[in-house]
Structure 1
């Protein structure tokens, strides 16, 4: 297993992981597949914002990725980020998600960020469990804020303070 920064060359395997979540689940609220070009642009934008985008390699391929984006654009929010993590379902149940997310959190601490916020489309027991194992605590629940597949979706927010 290897965790490293993502590059534009990772866009295709990242799309291969992400687009089935878009097409088949309400985990992502996107409704159309993301192109490789758009994904490469997203990776570049995260890097340009001074934030990490990591990929986890296992069994010779990318098994998952995690990244952080700005929580809000106003300057006072500059030390708060929102995190995202996606794992290829073929690699689920092996503890890789926890290792990848842990690496992202370590990187955010190195960058002296203060707060990480994880938004989770509900229900999603696996994501809730992962966040809570890593020390996140639930701080908000918004009901019926998204609609996907013809049904209303709730979103919960979990936070983790990284430092003082």
Structure 2
């Protein structure tokens, strides 16, 4: 558990699902931070939490007993060879944006991913999401590409910028035919 500027970062629980769902659904309806166009149901959020355990962390940011953001590490892809990589996602409640909550979540998940032995974290950001891009760049993520006109959201074509953070200290465990599942 991490605490920053009166914000506590802790593992997500079933009791957090409605707050996380409200945060995500706001992003679905009002932003291009996600290209999802369908609001999540309670059942979908339960399945989401069940899929985020162990090295696929789900954490929440809490301030004064209220969940004001959440973040996850998710498999980049389901094929076994992608085991060393993870994808980070961060969502912040509208009233808590710009208050360091996203940074606290990102820092926590970056530290967690490093300790778990991941080789890299991938972050996909719509190229209009400048606040998120600046935040991940502060943590050392480097823009490695852009997928142009990948989707449409809020009536506009959207580009997806790809960012990557490599943990050089973890690379040797995946070299020279070592066990990638260790």
Cα-Cα RMSD:
1.3
Q: Distance in 2 between matches of 1:30 and 1:58?
A: 27
Map Cα deviations across residues 138-159 of structure 1 (whole Å, 9 max, x no partner): 0011110111233211000000
Out of 63, 71, 74, the position equivalent to 1:69 is: 74
Corresponding residue number in structure 2 for 1:86: 91
Out of 102, 106, 112, the position equivalent to 2:111 is: 106
Give the secondary structure class of the aligned counterpart of 2:39.
coil
Out of 52, 67, 75, the position equivalent to 2:57 is: 52
Output aligned runs, 1:4-153, within 5 Å.
Answer: 4-47=10-53, 50-153=55-158
TM-score, normalised to structure 2, is 0.85
CA displacement at 1:36 relative to structure 2: 1.7
**What number of residue pairs does the alignment pair up?**
163
Q: Distance in 2 between matches of 1:143 and 1:155?
A: 6
Q: Distance in 2 between matches of 1:50 and 1:18?
A: 22
Q: Distance in 1 between matches of 2:99 and 2:39?
A: 27
Give the secondary structure class of the aligned counterpart of 2:52.
helix
CA displacement at 1:24 relative to structure 2: 1.0
Structure 2, gaps ≥5 residues long? 1-6, 170-182
Q: Distance in 1 between matches of 2:102 and 2:67?
A: 12
Question: Do 2:150 and 2:159's aligned partners in 1 also have CA atoms closer than 8 Å?
Answer: yes
CA displacement at 1:66 relative to structure 2: 0.5
Moved over 3 A (4+): none
Question: Do 2:84 and 2:118's aligned partners in 1 also have CA atoms closer than 8 Å?
Answer: yes
Give the secondary structure class of the aligned counterpart of 1:139.
strand
| Change over 3 Å in CA distance of 1:52–1:163 after alignment to 2 | farther
Corresponding residue number in structure 2 for 1:154: 159
